[in-house]
């Protein structure tokens, strides 16, 4: 037939409008997309050779150049002049060594059978290659000046890659609170569709972030188990893991952005809307007016799907949080056991077995051998390791015994305590209480050191003996408490020494709250 046909279709819960010709199936043209759009082949959206530059010999250099252009592009309104982009590439090339120049010359010769001598000519080759692969796009404006811009897909991809290379962690603080605020805002009943849409996005980011946190803890477990130096294990634990996982993510998840603070009210509001057909119809009408759904029935289904997703996400969040807790505990145990294994120098049975295992591990991996290769001929028959599937009375392992309940004997006569001994015990107990490092004592010590100042550095605290050093450790540990009047900045602080080099610590900055 020659006449056109417009059809509203639903594919995997996503609506779109197409115009085609009978008999169907046949050629069709997309007229309008509804929520989610149409799922198409990935390389129908991005160029087929887009990732070729990131898999070439100069992939690190191409990536660095793209990030430089991306950083500069964010500061512009429309785009960058072509000469400015050439200057950026030339500036990068001038910082490289002769190996880069030779590799670039070989690539230019392979692709164009040319050997440009000037740096701007070589930079122009790189720019043309980034344009041909689809990372950059050129356009001539009305002033006859050629500008370079980044396509929309390139901006999204570079944004994700930039976050990965900078190790940017998801900030969980605010996701739950933002969802609660959106659902309970005064305008939520009148513009419920917008409130629900934004709450859906916040919930999706929260769930994806928690999954990433769970995976990151697993990655740290693998890093710790692969390390052989105690210093590196301690660095991973007290610097990398504490900064990236505990301070930025896990601590906030357990305190300021705790799910339990807002979850009951979030679920209650979702249940209220779910059981209110008037509110659902009003929100569905607004979605149809925004042309996000083709009709009222499809809009209602979309509203109910969003309500279900958020409600199920929050009601089932405990399983994910428990898995994060278990993995965090598993990381702490793995870090301790690996450190204990490396530092074990005792001569008991455990220490001797540790030395034997270390020797066998060195024999397997020395000389470029793979870990799965056989031991040398003289050692292969000495040991037979196998997995013990069950325990019996003949097993070497001594099983744990159940807790035995103590049966106290009846007291017939009361013993008298010597008054002098009582006073001595009380005095000893009083001294222990005075030496105890409480939050109140540490807070008073820091505030006394501040003496009217707004901030003070650790090097100015007068660390002269062990008690002073212990107070500094407690001051850092108690800084997150609400019961102290100061806070501590640890990030990027240099290390200093005190008492003639007897103590070494970070030069923490302690500020008055």
Instruction: Note down pLDDT in tens along the chain; length 513 residues.
Output: 334 444 445 444 444 444 443 334 444 444 444 444 455 678 878 888 899 999 988 999 999 999 999 998 888 877 888 899 999 999 998 888 888 888 888 888 888 767 777 888 889 999 999 999 999 988 887 777 888 889 989 999 999 898 888 766 666 657 888 898 899 988 887 888 899 999 999 999 888 888 888 888 888 888 888 887 888 888 888 877 877 777 667 776 776 667 788 889 999 999 999 999 999 999 999 999 988 888 889 999 999 999 999 999 998 888 888 888 888 888 888 888 888 877 776 777 777 777 777 777 776 666 666 656 666 666 666 666 666 667 677 766 666 666 677 788 887 777 777 888 888 888 888 888 777 888 888 999 999 999 889 999 999 999 998 888 888 998 988 888 888 999 999 888 888 999 888 888 889 999 998
Using CA atoms, how far apart are residues 401 and 474, in angstroms rounded to an integer?
Answer: 38
Using CA atoms, how far apart are residues 10 and 297, in angstroms rounded to an integer?
Answer: 12
CA 138 to chain centre: 36
Phi-psi category of residue 144: left, alpha or beta, with phi > 0 → left and psi -120 to 50 → alpha: left
Widest CA span of the chain, in angstroms?
114
Using CA atoms, how far apart are residues 215 and 226, in angstroms rounded to an integer?
Answer: 17
Q: Please enumerate in sequence order all residues whose Cβ is within 8 A of that of 114, keeping only pairs 6 or more positions apart, or say none.
A: 108
Helix then strand count (H, E) for the chain reads 18, 11
Bond into 475 cis (ω within 30): no
Using CA atoms, how far apart are residues 450 and 454, in angstroms rounded to an integer?
Answer: 7
pTM above 0.85? no
Q: In whole angstroms, how far apart are CA 214 and each of 167, 175, 386?
A: 15, 17, 32
Which pLDDT belongs to residue 170?
Answer: 60
Q: In the sheet that 455-457 helps form, which strands lie side by side, from edge to edge? A: 455-457, 509-512, 486-489
Phi-psi category of residue 294: left, alpha or beta, with phi > 0 → left and psi -120 to 50 → alpha: alpha
Q: Is the dihedral of CA 84, 90, 94, 99 positive or negative?
A: positive
Residue pair 325/267 in contact by the 8 Å Cβ criterion? no
* Beta strand ranges found along 28-124 (DSSP E): 28-33, 80-81
- Tokens 């490396």 sit at which residue? 342
Which pLDDT belongs to residue 62?
Answer: 92
Which pLDDT belongs to residue 267?
Answer: 92
């Amino acid at each position: 037939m020659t006449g056109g046909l417009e059809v509203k279709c639903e594919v995997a819960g996503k609506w779109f409008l197409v115009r085609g010709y009978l008999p169907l199936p046949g050629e069709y043209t997309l007229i309008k997309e509804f929520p989610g759009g149409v799922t198409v082949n990935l390389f129908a959206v991005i160029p087929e050779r887009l990732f070729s530059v990131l898999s070439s010999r100069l992939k690190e250099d191409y990536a660095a150049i793209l990030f430089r252009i991306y950083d500069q592009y964010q500061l512009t309104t429309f785009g960058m002049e072509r000469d400015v982009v050439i200057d950026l590439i030339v500036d990068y090339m001038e910082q490289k060594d002769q190996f880069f120049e030779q590799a670039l010359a070989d690539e230019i010769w392979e692709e164009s059978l040319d050997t440009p001598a000037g740096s701007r000519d070589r930079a122009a080759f790189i720019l043309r290659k980034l344009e041909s692969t689809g990372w950059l796009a050129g356009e001539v404006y009305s002033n006859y000046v050629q500008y370079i811009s980044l396509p929309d897909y390139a901006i999204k991809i570079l944004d994700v890659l930039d976050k990965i290379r900078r190790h940017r962690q998801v900030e969980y603080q605010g996701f739950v609170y933002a969802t609660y605020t959106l659902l309970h805002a005064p305008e939520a009943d009148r513009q419920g569709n917008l409130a629900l849409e934004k709450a859906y996005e916040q919930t999706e980011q929260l769930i994806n972030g928690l999954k990433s946190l769970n995976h990151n803890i697993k990655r740290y477990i693998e890093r710790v188990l692969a390390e052989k130096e105690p210093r590196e294990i301690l660095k991973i634990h007290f610097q990398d893991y504490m900064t990236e996982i505990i301070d930025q993510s896990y601590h906030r998840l357990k305190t300021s952005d705790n799910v339990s603070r807002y979850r009951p009210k979030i679920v209650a509001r979702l249940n209220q809307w779910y059981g209110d057909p008037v509110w659902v119809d009003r929100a569905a009408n607004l979605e149809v007016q925004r042309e996000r759904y083709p009709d009222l029935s499809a809009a209602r289904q979309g509203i109910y799907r969003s309500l279900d997703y958020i409600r199920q996400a929050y009601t089932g969040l405990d399983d994910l949080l428990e898995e994060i807790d278990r993995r965090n505990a598993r990381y702490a145990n793995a870090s301790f056991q690996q450190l204990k294994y490396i530092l074990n120098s005792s001569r008991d049975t455990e220490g001797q077995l540790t030395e034997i295992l270390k020797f066998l591990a060195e024999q397997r991996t020395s000389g470029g051998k793979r870990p799965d290769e056989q031991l040398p001929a003289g050692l292969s028959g000495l040991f037979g390791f196998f997995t013990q599937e069950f325990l019996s009375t003949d097993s070497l392992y001594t099983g744990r015994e159940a807790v035995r309940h103590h049966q106290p004997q009846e007291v017939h006569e009361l013993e008298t305590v010597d008054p002098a001994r009582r006073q001595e015990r009380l005095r000893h107990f009083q001294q222990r209480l005075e030496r105890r490092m409480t939050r109140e004592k540490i807070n008073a010590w820091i505030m006394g050191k501040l003496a009217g100042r707004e901030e003070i550095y650790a090097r100015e605290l007068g660390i002269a003996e062990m008690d002073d050093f212990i107070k500094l450790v407690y001051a850092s540990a108690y800084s997150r408490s609400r019961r102290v009047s100061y806070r501590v900045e640890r990030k990027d602080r240099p290390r200093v020494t005190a008492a003639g080099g007897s103590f070494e610590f970070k030069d923490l900055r302690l500020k008055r709250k």
